[in-house]
Structure 1
Amino acid sequence: MIIFELCKIYILKENVMKKHSIGKIILLLMLLLVTMTACANNGSKITIVGSSAMQLLAEQAGNDYRLSHSDSNIVVQGGGSGTGLSQVQAGAVQIGTSDVFAETQKGINASKLRDYKIAVVGIVPIVNKGVGVKNVSAKQLAQIFTGKITNWRQLGGKDEAITVINRSKGSGTRSTFEDIILRGQKPIKSQEQDSNGTVKKIVNTTPGTVSYLSFPYANDAHIQKLSIDHIKPTNKNITTNKWQLWSYEHMYTKGKPNKQTKAFIDYMLGKKVQKELVPKIGYLSINDMKVTRNSKNQVTQIGK
């Protein structure tokens, strides 16, 4: 509005219609349009950074949202849960995504952040198909990742050395895996990767490898999912905590979100995403859970 008034004053003062060419008027109007568009896009931009486990869901939801909200500008990036939490705390992004509760992370003041639980994602240990193992106990899985079991033959598989691929520090998936499986034990020094996609590619092509993935990424015919204590990694088993390797997919904002950000979060929690998109990609709707888990990994049945 201010820009329009300034332009009006300029035109009247200089008597543009009489003394200046139409070309100058068109140029002025074009500059005005560019300025207005830039301001509008900046105001509606939502930057989402953090969990690679949630990246698939956030990207697809963002794409769908733009179809019905043409003025929106949603940018989704990974980087890990730690990055998402630190970036949103610093006010550098509108939404930080995380697989872990903010209060469990050093340097994060959770009281300054708002937590929106969007979905639930399972985590599954995976191995290269050639190792010849389909099931391990929780204790054996911990022994693999702490270096106590070093050959697949020790688990009834092929006589082949075990190569552990871990997630990078700051990964929410790694934090959940270590909290539930290692329970305070120190992991073996190993190759580390920062994304689910890279982990899957390595396990696909490298004999003897073992790692873990979020459910939506564990859909490749060349990898072998491991059952734990003969319990299969399914979303149905997650709903009751029978399969214990799972985490919430959080969206955090710094205090009260702005109007545009809140509208997108409401969309994420709405019927279209929860009933259609979430299960389609391989996540679990927050509304389907029969148990709840707190930041200390204490599980309670919903309704009790």
Structure 2
Amino acid sequence: MKLKKLLLLTLTLAFAVSLAACGNKDNTSGTTTTDKNADSAETTTLSGSILASGSTALQPLVEQVGKKFMDKNSGVSVQVQGGGSGTGLTQVSGGQVQIGNSDVFASEKMKDAAAAKELIDHQVAVVAIAAVVNPEVGVTNLTKQQLVDIFTGKITNWKDVQGKDQAIVIVNRPSSSGTRATFEKFALGTKTEDLKGSIQEDSSGTVKKLVTETPGAIGYLALSYLDDKVKAVQYEGVDATVDNVISGKYPVWAYEHMYTKGEPDATTKAFLDYFMTDEVQNGDVVELGYIPANKMQVKRDETGNVTK
């Protein structure tokens, strides 16, 4: 009798274990869970390629953040190319890239208004542009009018602006450059023609190298490119510093845009969302000499008007 009871108990336990195993099986996914009623966090693995092109002023930031994003997402490839804001806007509009980096609003740069309206603006930072000279020219400050006269060819020697008796060599950016557009609009207040004898380069890095190595050279660069190899001159007596940009004292600045054509795909959206995290905005953005847009005490609309 005891043997029968023991056998019955054993069979009952085995049946109960079998039922429990069946109850825990997820028939829809083929995976098993410990509790069908428990809340579970869905994990999404990102994959795919992101190609960004355009502004060389923004390029160092996108490259650095891209590398960090790939470290966090091994299935994602982020590639960054320069070429200028106009190139970035044209390529994202044409579908050749996922992101078009630009120092200017698409509506300012693109001739096709309908194409510009198809683009979605993701403002990731603020960039300031400074006039830079070869350290040997002996100039520390230039007024707006002096800069206009230099870039239009009216002043051709540094001695005419309290510098050395040395010919001025202009290192300019092409017309597609957002950095050039920002400098002309907010430093010069006018567009300029390419002068005979001037040098034109489509990369901020090359501009920096040429200004550093060329006697009498002048160009313009984003603050992210500045170091002791080139001399950033004051604009109307105001230093090109982050604090002066934030307060509105220094006027030569623009938003940094990362445009997508329509709503981005999941991987590109995740990358753009990562750009706006505290980790990037208060880390990489500040570290590389850019300014988080939310720290600005002034704002600027598409027409260039500044408001508090």
Q: TM-score, normalised by structure 1?
A: 0.83
The alignment status of 1:250 with 2:254, answered yes or no, reads no
The alignment status of 1:239 with 2:246, answered yes or no, reads yes
Equivalent position of 2:204 in the other structure = 196
The alignment status of 1:141 with 2:147, answered yes or no, reads yes
Per-residue deviation, 1:182: 2.8
Per-residue deviation, 1:203: 0.8
Query: Contact (CA 8 Å) 1:145, 1:164: kept in 2 or not?
Result: yes
Per-residue deviation, 1:67: 1.2
More helix by share: 1
- Percent sequence identity over aligned pairs: 45
Letter in 2 for 1:148: K
Provide, for residues 243-294 of structure 1, a one-character-per-residue CA deviation record: whole Å limited to 9, x for no partner. 1111111000001111111111000011111011101111111121111111
* Equivalent of 1:49 in 50, 53, 59: 53
Query: Contact (CA 8 Å) 1:117, 1:250: kept in 2 or not?
Result: yes
The alignment status of 1:105 with 2:113, answered yes or no, reads no
Between the aligned partners of 2:87 and 2:211, the Cα distance in structure 1 is 25
The alignment status of 1:86 with 2:90, answered yes or no, reads yes
Per-residue deviation, 1:188: 4.7
The alignment status of 1:181 with 2:203, answered yes or no, reads no
Equivalent position of 2:124 in the other structure = 118
Query: Contact (CA 8 Å) 1:160, 1:208: kept in 2 or not?
Result: yes
Per-residue deviation, 1:148: 1.1
Equivalent position of 1:165 in the other structure = 171
Letter in 2 for 1:169: S
The alignment status of 1:217 with 2:225, answered yes or no, reads yes
Query: Contact (CA 8 Å) 2:49, 2:78: kept in 1 or not?
Result: yes
SS of the equivalent of 2:100 reads strand
SS of the equivalent of 1:284 reads coil
Query: Contact (CA 8 Å) 1:88, 1:254: kept in 2 or not?
Result: yes
Equivalent position of 1:264 in the other structure = 271
Letter in 2 for 1:272: E
Between the aligned partners of 2:232 and 2:53, the Cα distance in structure 1 is 28
Query: Contact (CA 8 Å) 1:91, 1:254: kept in 2 or not?
Result: yes
Shift in CA distance, 186/75, structure 1 to aligned 2, threshold 3 Å: closer
SS of the equivalent of 2:186 reads helix
Per-residue deviation, 1:224: 1.2
Equivalent position of 1:18 in the other structure = none
Query: Contact (CA 8 Å) 1:171, 1:194: kept in 2 or not?
Result: yes
* Equivalent of 1:61 in 65, 77, 82: 65
Equivalent position of 1:206 in the other structure = 214
Between the aligned partners of 1:237 and 1:52, the Cα distance in structure 2 is 23
Letter in 2 for 1:98: S
Query: Contact (CA 8 Å) 1:147, 1:188: kept in 2 or not?
Result: no
Between the aligned partners of 1:184 and 1:244, the Cα distance in structure 2 is 14
| Structure 2 stretches lacking a partner, 5+ long | 1-44
Letter in 2 for 1:67: D
* Equivalent of 1:289 in 271, 293, 296: 296
Query: Contact (CA 8 Å) 2:86, 2:110: kept in 1 or not?
Result: no
Between the aligned partners of 2:131 and 2:190, the Cα distance in structure 1 is 18
Over the aligned positions, Cα root-mean-square deviation in angstroms equals: 1.4
Per-residue deviation, 1:185: 4.7
Aligned length: 260
Letter in 2 for 1:136: L
Between the aligned partners of 1:251 and 1:82, the Cα distance in structure 2 is 12
Equivalent position of 1:33 in the other structure = none
Between the aligned partners of 2:194 and 2:96, the Cα distance in structure 1 is 34
SS of the equivalent of 1:154 reads helix
Letter in 1 for 2:83: G
Per-residue deviation, 1:240: 2.0
SS of the equivalent of 1:248 reads strand
Letter in 2 for 1:280: E
Between the aligned partners of 1:149 and 1:235, the Cα distance in structure 2 is 30
Per-residue deviation, 1:143: 1.0
Between the aligned partners of 1:49 and 1:185, the Cα distance in structure 2 is 24
Between the aligned partners of 1:216 and 1:106, the Cα distance in structure 2 is 26
Letter in 1 for 2:202: D
Q: TM-score, normalised by structure 2?
A: 0.82
Letter in 2 for 1:207: P
